Amino acid sequence: MSMIYPVILSGGVGTRLWPLSRSQFPKQLLALAGESTLIQDTALRASGGNFAAPLIVCNQEHRFLIAEQMRAAGISPLGILLEPVGRNTAPAAAIAALTIAERDPDGILLLLPADHVVTNRPAFADAVGHAARAAQDNHLVTFGIEPSRPETGYGYVRRGKPLAGSQSVFAVARFVEKPDLPTAKSYIESGDYYWNSGMFAFRAAAFLAEMEKLAPDILVACRAAMAEGRKETDFFHLAAKPFAQCRSISIDYAVMEHTDKAAVVPVEMGWSDIGAWDALWDIGGKDDSGNVTRGDVLCHGVRNTYLRSDGPLVAVVGVDDLVVVATRDAVLVSRKDKAQDVKKIVDQLASAGRDEHIVPAK
């Protein structure tokens, strides 16, 4: 069996979990659901056994924070590849595949977004095992999450026939864009559709061969960014000019939707991409009133609410279905089902020339 190289994609600079996340301190660096940060959990989830040390691809601004979080978690990355600008997942995957291919052409890359939560680790390990076997046969494998609701915020992947000799991995019949609600409901009823998780497994050589065919310009740009790049202790700085000139495109659009080697491994593993604060209520441990609390929080007559303080005492009285999150410099109060609209607040901060969405709480 080939080694499995976890490739942790830490591309996000999002602020959907403001005021805790800031563009200079995005959600993958936060301990949102447990004691470890999401990127620490991601690295620890794919360690031991057949896993090599992880390769991390991140924005250069986050390099010291990430290096420190890996050190604190007892993880020595294979490398930390620094993007001068974000160019979405296809170039990041290409850079990672080129890096692994130099070292171990038979190596299998396991692409893991740094900001996902997975609560069922054995299910994750099983799915990775199935995916790795299919990857060894040169399939490009995507992880399909068993949908628990007719979510309209995700793309879906429809499974085709099982791969030869496998009961766990299927050919991909097609990828579909974010559906409307009736369509999403029909997907769930059919039982053939999965959420497209953004997690992938493939042999370095197999992926690069498909890129050579489907998106050669990206490989050219990435090879240049590596050739002209600069190693600095644990970090590798991709060269800014060629990398910036690369197209910004997802691995789905650039490769997966066009290759005939796509496969999907369905998995139910307590997965969440924590799109907004309500997701942390969904996955959190609840008290008898259905509240999820963390930090210095008091309540009276409160139900089904997410309560969190990383700063001042937070006291809540007589409310249902809210999100209340406090940091030292900012407080968010939102209806739980409006938590996506925190981006409207971030927009207001940006247009007012403020910096509470950029720099971490003092």
Is 341 among the residues that bind its own copies (CB under 8 A)? yes
- Selected from 132, 135, 145, 332, the binder of its own copies by CB under 8 A is 332
CA of 348: how far to CAs of 28, 275, 328, 355, 362, in Å? Answer: 24, 20, 19, 11, 20
Neighbours of 44 (CB within 10 A): 15
The least distance separating its own copies from the CB of residue 342, rounded to whole angstroms, comes to 6
Report the run of H or E that residue 322 belongs to, with start and end: strand 322-326
* DSSP 8-state assignment for residue 255: I
The least distance separating its own copies from the CB of residue 240, rounded to whole angstroms, comes to 34
Distance from C-alpha of 247 to C-alpha of 87, rounded to nearest angstrom: 7
Is 331 among the residues that bind its own copies (CB under 8 A)? yes
The least distance separating its own copies from the CB of residue 328, rounded to whole angstroms, comes to 7
- Selected from 20, 56, 226, 339, the binder of its own copies by CB under 8 A is 339
- Selected from 254, 267, 269, 342, the binder of its own copies by CB under 8 A is 342
Is 335 among the residues that bind its own copies (CB under 8 A)? yes
The least distance separating its own copies from the CB of residue 287, rounded to whole angstroms, comes to 15
- Selected from 29, 172, 316, 360, the binder of its own copies by CB under 8 A is 316
Stretch that binds its own copies, among 62-70, 95-103, 232-240, 319-327 (CB under 8 A): 319-327
Is 328 among the residues that bind its own copies (CB under 8 A)? yes
| Cβ nearer to its own copies, comparing 125 with 345 | 345
One-letter amino acid for residue 26 of the chain = P
| Cβ nearer to its own copies, comparing 227 with 317 | 317
Report the run of H or E that residue 111 belongs to, with start and end: strand 108-113
- Beta carbons of 284 and 253 less than 8 angstroms apart: no
| Cβ nearer to its own copies, comparing 272 with 334 | 334
Stretch that binds its own copies, among 108-116, 127-135, 225-233, 332-340 (CB under 8 A): 332-340
Distance from C-alpha of 207 to C-alpha of 101, rounded to nearest angstrom: 10
Count the residues of the shown chain that bind its own copies, applying the rule CB under 8 A: 38
One-letter amino acid for residue 161 of the chain = K
One-letter amino acid for residue 250 of the chain = S
Task: Give the position of tokens 């190289």.
Answer: 5
Provide the mask over 7-46, with x wherever binding to its own copies is found by CB under 8 A and - wherever it is not. Answer: -----------xx---------------------------
Q: How many CA atoms lie within 13 A of 281 on its CB side?
A: 23
Is 231 among the residues that bind its own copies (CB under 8 A)? no
The least distance separating its own copies from the CB of residue 330, rounded to whole angstroms, comes to 4
- Beta carbons of 147 and 271 less than 8 angstroms apart: no
Stretch that binds its own copies, among 38-46, 75-83, 171-179, 342-350 (CB under 8 A): 342-350
Burial letters 8-30, b for 16+ CB under 10 A, else e: bbbbbbbbbbbbbbbbbbbbbbb
Both tokens of 245, joined, read 């000139």
| Cβ nearer to its own copies, comparing 101 with 315 | 315
Residues 285 to 314: which contact its own copies by CB under 8 A? 298, 300-301, 309, 311-314
Is 327 among the residues that bind its own copies (CB under 8 A)? yes
Is 329 among the residues that bind its own copies (CB under 8 A)? yes
Residue 340, helix vs strand vs coil: helix
Both tokens of 253, joined, read 């659009």
- Beta carbons of 118 and 124 less than 8 angstroms apart: yes
Measured between its terminal Cα atoms, the distance across the chain in Å is 48
**Which positions touch its own copies (CB under 8 A)?**
18-19, 298, 300-301, 309, 311-319, 322, 324, 326-335, 337-339, 341-342, 344-345, 348-349, 354, 356
